[in-house]
Structure 1
């Protein structure tokens, strides 16, 4: 029995899990590209997306704790088909997330080894990324004991230490009289114009708040959820939002970040701090080592989680060859096919001229794919709120009108993001835009085809028996 079984989570424990699951330092350089107005956009993203989704997840996970998880809630509201498609999109969404993660690892390795020239060769970085991903995938098939130990070491190294270093040096630079690289004025902080690009920028910041739905799997382990969840939501929102805002301000004070520099911006910041404070060590190399250990430690769990979610929603639909488990009870074939899909996307990204451009393209693709399951989630919440009135809801948005308003705001934000991501920005090439449109269409067609194929296989034995 684990520690989480022996003692239920309180506000502090739930906050720590939320912050560790959601907050990512790599989102700060991207936010910094728009200038001082990023502070306002962070707040807008939290209000439009993070808080509504958090409230919805809190209510669903405490109402149906034994079925924790997005696909289980969707199955209860709309049935097996919707649950399968939701799980399918959740699975394939990671096909675009993993490549962006792997390219980020290559950048970290380049700085950890002090061989920055590695990032200039897109095909070499692609090859190394594929090798690393397949290595961790094959290790994942053997179980999670090793990755569990690595993750325990990697979490503080990958989040806590880099955050302290970045925030600390950035704030130190601000308060020791150094000149700001960015002009902070009332006019520059407030958004002056609302264009398609700025709206899409907010959508990408919303993606930085994603991950709260994962708390559904631990709802039964939360103490006094009626009080714990809302407190944890507001505290986590303040911590994550505050960290993003403070980090972005500190970042912009030190350097100006252009959209084509986001891949290495954290290290450009570190190099500036090393020179500015005459550090006796290379801060870039230290951050690179921290990020490499943290990401590799967490990668096994990141590879396994979506496959397990999809396995649970599709094991009665998908062909047995895909849902077959190995001796370690891992959905081996599903994980291997996932690696094939990731490898294909990584190979395609090799045609993009620079690593930063490839990384930005993959982030947009991941943003689009990840938000599709949220449409299922929000609709399931509304349906269950209307039809399952007898359910005991330890935590709930108290008034129906307020609950539906929360759901409407979340749904508007999610659908708006999906639509806006499909609108090409000026200067976008066909090679950059085509995957955004073709990818979701192909994946959706495959999802329906897999479900139809699996449904027919289920009906065939029944017909033979009759």
Structure 2
């Protein structure tokens, strides 16, 4: 008899760090200012820990291919499951467009280039379609991509933090890191960026898929949540400290802030900056490639169940990859980058990235009440990992992160002052458009489902 493969705690923690650590979101999070350290600590306890525990229970109990779509569908029915699948998917091509824009911005920055808009758009389209084509093959989940991306991410974060410490000791800090400065100000700008910190915590449900290969998932999964969460927060905060040492928070660019910080810390463009920039550019593609399979399979699985249009259900018969979802990703992202020069927003990366953050956060809202509902309607199901606590504590664990999601989404999307109109109105319009298109797609899928049922009855 073959000995069962063992997955070490170290492997689970590393997987959490690789999947969840997103380098390009370090600068938007750092734009909160010194109070981000307060928000990281609070949200680590009030959001990431309960989210991780709930993901662990649902991911190890309901192990189907649909993931979060399946959980919500079982709890609240097809329509809600379809909405979750739609927002979980639509965030991805928007994210792809934002990273394509950032890719060219970093390229121009590190090589000090002057490039025309049509050429930039051409490079962005090339980036999108290279990622899209790779995502059509199993190589999109290969170990070397994850390992190299992990090295690049950690190297960038550590270098930025170490240089920040050196700068602070030798030249002082660009921002105030005293006790009062660390307290939250609750100003509209800071609250708008809190959603990015929540975004930085998402993705842990991917780690729960490893439960079958763990020696003791009941013990190892919560340990991976805690250790992984602490490491992720450490790397983000270490990098944020480096940026805080170099650039005043009110002058920090959400797109070029990371490279700007390196340039200021080392005194100008040099080969080191080029290497960091190239590593950063690689992580942008690697992030998309490593997430593509999971996102595409949710859309594929939902389409197979007639909850999304059938274009998402197309697969390559040779390798069973969801090529329909991949191709739609590339088409939507391409339309966005071609339209980008005509969008009235100076920071187009942030416009797309913020919309991507909003879409992804929306897809997680129903997960928390679904957890409570499944506990109620399916109490006898074997749960390899079970969130500890009685009914009262479980409600707190589910509703606190839910409220945090809703509140941060409100501050991210709704313009509450005239100064925010130019930045938030495109995000609000994009969110409304994504919702309307999603409802149309869901109704089309529902129509096909009813037609199929009717045909089966006739036969």
Moved more, 227-236 or 30-39: 30-39
TM-superposed deviation, 1:432: 4.2
Aligned to 2:106: 108
Aligned CA distance change for structure 1 residues 155 and 377 (closer, same or farther; 3 Å): same
TM-superposed deviation, 1:369: 0.7
In the alignment, structure 1 residue 262 sits paired with structure 2 residue 254: yes
2:53 corresponds to which of 46, 52, 55? 55
Aligned to 1:232: 224
Mapped partners of 1:457, 1:262: distance in 2: 43
Aligned to 1:379: 369
| Uncovered stretches (5+) of structure 1, i.e. residues with no partner | none
Mapped partners of 1:426, 1:79: distance in 2: 38
TM-superposed deviation, 1:346: 1.8
Aligned length: 452
Mapped partners of 1:299, 1:45: distance in 2: 25
TM-superposed deviation, 1:431: 6.0
Aligned to 1:41: 39
Aligned CA distance change for structure 1 residues 360 and 426 (closer, same or farther; 3 Å): farther
TM-superposed deviation, 1:406: 0.8
Aligned to 1:359: 349
TM-superposed deviation, 1:287: 0.5
Aligned CA distance change for structure 1 residues 117 and 172 (closer, same or farther; 3 Å): same
TM-superposed deviation, 1:122: 5.1
Q: What does residue range 120-199 of structure 1 map to in structure 2 within 5 Å? A: 124-141=119-136, 143-145=137-139, 148=142, 151-152=145-146, 154-175=148-169, 177-191=170-184, 193-199=185-191
Mapped partners of 1:447, 1:27: distance in 2: 26
Mapped partners of 2:39, 2:385: distance in 1: 29
Instruction: Give CA-to-partner distance per residue, 1:43-101, whole Å, 9 cap, x none.
Output: 12323321221111011122223567211212222233322221111111223211121
Whether the aligned pair in 2 keeps the contact of 1:39 and 1:248 (CA below 8 Å) is no
Whether the aligned pair in 2 keeps the contact of 1:65 and 1:219 (CA below 8 Å) is no
Aligned to 1:316: 305
Whether the aligned pair in 1 keeps the contact of 2:19 and 2:290 (CA below 8 Å) is no
Whether the aligned pair in 2 keeps the contact of 1:324 and 1:332 (CA below 8 Å) is yes
Mapped partners of 1:292, 1:6: distance in 2: 39
TM-superposed deviation, 1:152: 4.5
Mapped partners of 2:167, 2:320: distance in 1: 51
TM-superposed deviation, 1:291: 1.8
TM-superposed deviation, 1:155: 1.3
Aligned CA distance change for structure 1 residues 8 and 429 (closer, same or farther; 3 Å): same
Q: What does residue range 296-445 of structure 1 map to in structure 2 within 5 Å? A: 296-317=285-306, 318-326=308-316, 327-352=318-343, 357-399=347-389, 400-428=391-419, 432-445=423-436
Question: Helix, strand or coil: the match of 1:208?
Answer: helix
Query: Which portions of structure 1, spanning 4 or more consecutive aligned residues, are displaced by more than 6 angstroms?
Result: none
Mapped partners of 1:139, 1:329: distance in 2: 14
Normalised TM-score (structure 2): 0.89
Whether the aligned pair in 1 keeps the contact of 2:218 and 2:384 (CA below 8 Å) is yes
2:14 corresponds to which of 13, 16, 26? 16
Aligned CA distance change for structure 1 residues 147 and 373 (closer, same or farther; 3 Å): closer
Whether the aligned pair in 2 keeps the contact of 1:144 and 1:300 (CA below 8 Å) is no
Aligned CA distance change for structure 1 residues 50 and 106 (closer, same or farther; 3 Å): same
Question: Helix, strand or coil: the match of 1:420?
Answer: helix
TM-superposed deviation, 1:111: 4.4
1:460 corresponds to which of 426, 440, 451? 451
